[in-house]
Amino acid sequence: MTRFAFIGRCSTEDLQDPEASRNWQLTRARTLIEPAGGEVVAEYFDSGHSRALPWKRRPQAAALLRALRDPGRGFDAVVIGEPQRTFYGDQFGNTFPLFVHFNVPLWVPEVGGAIDPENEAHDLVMSVFGGMSKGERNRIKIRVRTAMASQTRLEGRFLGGRPPYGYRLGDAGPHPHPVKGAAGTRLHRLEPDPVAGPVVARIFAMYLRGQGMHAIAETLTREDIPCPSAADRMRNPHRDGRAWSKGAVRWILSNPRYTGHQVWNKQPKREVLLDIDDVTLGHRTQQSLNPVEEWIWSADPVHTPLVSMEIFTRAQGKAAARRSPGHRAERMPRSTHRDYALRGLLYCGRARTKCRAPTTTDTPTTAAGSRPNSNA
């Protein structure tokens, strides 16, 4: 009897059922080896990992590579149920030499048995399956992106994910896809949050009145208004949630969905090399902001706006002007018109930071206890 280790993989990115995928791949593997007296004694099956990940970055595949080095590994050969699920692009060429080095045969159904390292036809067949796997994944990505762009532009459909601060999810009826609708899947739409929605409108108003993002964040924190991560702890358990940040204010001011339009492709995912000095490590997924002209907008408003298009456009223009070279920062009007000879020259003896001049609304303090000016 020849002892085999089974290696397989399935991914949730193309809606595979992990258990069903494992079963049919294992069945194919057993159909290949059992007539030759083979038996599967070990399994290495990766679930929920993209085929684009190289073997050393898939937990079970990496475990198999480590087992190859162990003389007491417990199996004599390895069998694959489906090469397109296991190898992607040039992964076969980067992995098979290890099987040859440790003298462990690799069996594949499409070859009808073990791969012969001296057989050019075997190498060509496996290279073709790697290319087919890469092409299949690219086609899935193109179909999904095209469908999402169409659903955004023509239907204004909410495409999933967490609702923006100021909104909550509401029911929008059964899913139009017959299978998903029959399974009880529902569509969702954005509805104004009665507590957080007015805060969004207030942030835009404060910004257009001349307050900076840092000053807005300080004001909201001082008034004990929950920041986005505190308002939705279930979706933000990894965030602190104690105070507003300048970044949170900036994100709200730049989000076009507050105008009532559905907007997609604002921050798409891209794949970049994990290590430019070792391309065999594959890619990592990274989000980056797209230029405004590449955003996909719904043709009409599809949910209740929190700010008008005019207000949103003015805020974007103001932000763009602030980023322009030579721009002088705007400041909120001071509460006093008195002149102070040492204004801008005084520093805190403890924090070593510049202190602001006193105003008529300040509580009297010593120079050492003065609060730093957040707008300085």
pLDDT digits (tens, 9 = 90+) for 265-276: 988 888 888 888
What is the span of the domain harbouring residue 262? 196-323
CATH number at residue 38: 3.40.50.1390
For 125, the enclosing helix (H) or strand (E) is: helix 120-150
How many other C-beta atoms are found inside a 10 Å radius of the C-beta of residue 133? 22
Residue 362 placed within a domain = yes
* pLDDT score of 118: 92
The reply to whether 255 and 219 lie within a common domain is yes
Listed as ranges, residues in the chain with pLDDT below 50 are 351-376
Domain co-membership, 285 together with 368: no
Q: Give the model confidence (pLDDT) of 273-307 as tens digits.
A: 888 887 777 788 888 888 888 999 999 999 999 99
Q: Does residue 257 sit within a domain?
A: yes
Asked whether residue 317 falls in the same domain as residue 209, the answer is yes
The reply to whether 87 and 21 lie within a common domain is yes
SS3 111: coil
**Within-domain flag for 347:** yes
- Say how far apart CA 130 and CA 36 lie, in whole Å: 26
Write out the two tokens for 138.
Answer: 């690219």
Give yes or no: residues 49 and 129 share one domain: yes
Domain check: are 285 and 201 in the same one? Answer: yes
pLDDT score for 368: 41
Distance between CA 250 and CA 254 in Å, rounded?
Answer: 6
Same domain, 214 and 103: no
pLDDT score at 365: 42
Residues 83 and 47 in one domain: yes
How many angstroms separate the CA atoms of 5 and 99, rounded? 13
Buried b (16+ CB within 10 A) or exposed e, 167-206: bbeeebeeeeeeeeeeeeeebbbbbbbeebbebbbebbeb
Total domains in the fold of the chain: 3
The structure tokens listed for 339 are 């002149």
Q: Is residue 54 part of a domain?
A: yes
Question: 348 and 319 in one domain?
Answer: no
Same domain, 28 and 123: yes
CATH number of the domain to which 310 belongs: 3.90.1750
Residues 8 and 133 in one domain: yes
* Farthest-apart Cα atoms in the chain, separation: 97
Whether 184 maps to a domain, the answer reads no
CB-based contacts of 189, cutoff 8 Å, min separation 6: 158, 169, 170, 171, 172, 302, 303
